[in-house]
Structure 1
Amino acid sequence: MKLDKTTETLLVFLAAFVTLITAYLVEQVCADNNVSSEYAIDMSLTGARLSDGVYASVAKSEENVTRNRYIAKYEFEIHNDSNVNISNWAAYITVPKDTEITNFWGVEANIEKGRLICAPEFYNLSFSKGDSLSFGVVLNTQKSFYPEQISFRGYKSGNSGGVFTKILYGAFIIWAALFVGFFVSNFNLKNYREKQKNDVRIILQSMNTFISFIDAKDPYTRGHSRRVAMYAAEIAKRMRLSEDEVQNIYYAGLLHDAGKLSVPDAVLNKPGKLTDEERKLIQDHTVAGGKMLKQMSSLRGIRETALYHHERYDGTGYPEGLKGDTIPLYARIVGVADSYDAMSSNRVYRRHLNKDEIIEEIQQGSGTQFDPNIVPFMVDMINDGYVNVVKMETADNDAGRSDFHLTEDDIPGVYMGF
């Protein structure tokens, strides 16, 4: 299944986020298991805080006397306000001789050489900064006993704030900035596309006006401008021009005959042979079109196409006799498309040519009338049937109906970049 670009980008962001989180967790695990130095401190249990890092307190909650021995319950609490984690810790308390342990909780407890040793159980192996340890024991002593000091030993762990951690934080900040930027740019792009579509509607409304006037002048060529535009755009696409250029060539094809508005109807629709003066009037439609479209400078190539689409590659065309590549590319493309549509359509003075006749005419004109680099694309479009698809799409408008209007749907998505 092919994903759109937005979804693909979101998946890339998600993968990067998962990678950063995984790297951070791995770094934390490695830091927790990294021993940097020993941590040792002797703390008072009187309740006074004697250390800026780790401090402790004890509460003797109850005491009973049985057969001249004292059974007492002691509850300890140790606080870690240091800036490091402590692992493999143990607490040592000096106890009277012959002391026995009756019970314990929160730790593993035993007595060795006159010291009560409290070591962590499985759930509190690591003593993290900001945490507290709570545990207790019940001791059986020969005399009443109250501990006043506890020795705490362990190993500093957690290289938090190291170079790698800082790199991860920096990478996450960059990721967050790019992620926010992606959504902002995506939102702006969406607004731009909406504006672009609205601009297209305005452009096409203006072009509809021109095309409706042209069609009214020459009913035999109704739909001609749209067909030429579609042929020209497809040629540009097959030539692998940019999407912007394909779109502009489409517009240029639509308006290439705008100058026919200046040609008298009697001349434009004359069924017989034209006089030299009448032929000059028709040829001047290129100059008239160039003048009409002079103000449409925001659409690159529109005016030049109207002005030069009847120039010939060998320099014998009109209005200026331009030759070869001095003829603008848009005009060369539209010139081929225009000639094909003229040969494949019925005109007031003749019927259309068949497929083989058209191909022969176009190939004979390669290098003289037409750019030889463009001709093969037009011939391919004839052979692969693309031109027939265009004719089918415009067939309803060839019968002289007056409801012919272009919309943004007339422009294929690839031409618009949508």
Structure 2
Amino acid sequence: MAEFFTPTTEQEFAENFAQLKPVMNRTEALYESSRCLFCFDAPCIKACPSGIDIPQFIRQINSGNDTGAARTIYEANYFGNACGKVCPTEVLCEGACVYNLQEVKPIEIGRLQSYATTKVIKSGEKLFGPGADNGKKVAVIGAGPAGISAACELRALGYTVDVFEAKAQPSGLTVYGVAPYKITNEETLAEMDYLQAQFGYNTHFNSPINSREELAELENKYDAIFLGIGLGKTNELGLPGEDKINCTGAVEFIAELRQHHHEVAVGRKVIVLGGGNTAMDAASESSRLGAETVILAYRRAKEEMGAYEFEYDLAKGVGVKGLFNVAPIEITGNGYVAGVKFIRTETKDGKVLEIAGSEFVEPCDMVIKATGQAKQTEFLGLISGLKLDGKGRIIANAHTGQTSNPKYFASGDAWNGGAEVVNAAAEAKLTARGIHAYLSK
């Protein structure tokens, strides 16, 4: 089990948060690519939401054509480099690799993908460019995986594209929400700079769109508007004591960590509430920041957690402990967090039932809520005629991304309710073509 001391320098932070999938060197890439069987009707392609021709790019790496490999990847997925690192490849492409059936280690597809794309990003080689100007303009709200992918595809189709981003940097959760041991800020931003240089869309940072007037201005100036706004803040639980100092949302905690590294303070004993992948990340990060004890508390049984098994294994590997079948009822303490009052639960017919009289307090000095993100319904309510489903997700055509207000199109977390970077990138590419079909009529 790994032991972590509190990092006090950038170097110590980098050691504690060492990359899970470090970039391969040439020898590693040649060896790994030579193991591929180049399956006909390859299951890895079917498992990739963006449909990358994986055997093709691996064959290109193996024959020394790294640039061709990068082109094959980027033709399918504009976040090719990031996805090689942050995708749950264990359950997607690598999980589908035929080697699993023979109990042989699957091909390291993610790392091969990052290898080829890192090389082309470093060389700055131009693989793509904008299409001939068609005289039409599209506004993209949000510079996350959905927004940037849509911008690239729309530029390739000849549109003038303006991207409006509320934050100071592009790539959305890739730079603000992914655990630092999956990808570094430098890697994320290098890919964003590369795409910007290839396609030449205009980005406006620190430019939130949040009033009816601003939307009306976009509606007048642009032929179509793409919504790639993702999700909002961590959901409130409505618990007494939730406003105490050192009780924070996981999304906010990870954003702070990605931006400020070792300057982020963590409690000595941390309780993370939740059972999804974000909870696993927050728990693992707390441990790597030097917390002495980290407890993952979930209201159902371990087997019912939403997190991928490999993510839970990763957290356990850095000393995180699990506390299952407990529901939080209060955050205790005087001003500062001092503990969480839980009640024990059991699951009957899929429902979580509380066991009367089983309350107990688990002391701690920090609580991280990994309880999902709120939908941005207030903002979406400013768009006339835009329909949302019962869960606050944008309703849009699955093939074109067009919403009930024909001028607006959507992809990514605001539409799918929260999925992976690769899903947002794949959907947005399709939606960009939907915009093109609509504006070409």
Return the TM-score normalized by structure 2.
0.18
Structure number with larger C-alpha Rg: 1
> Which structure has more RCO (C-alpha within 8 Å, separation ≥ 6)?
2
Q: Which has the higher strand share?
A: 1
Return the TM-score normalized by structure 1.
0.19
Q: Which has the higher helix share?
A: 1
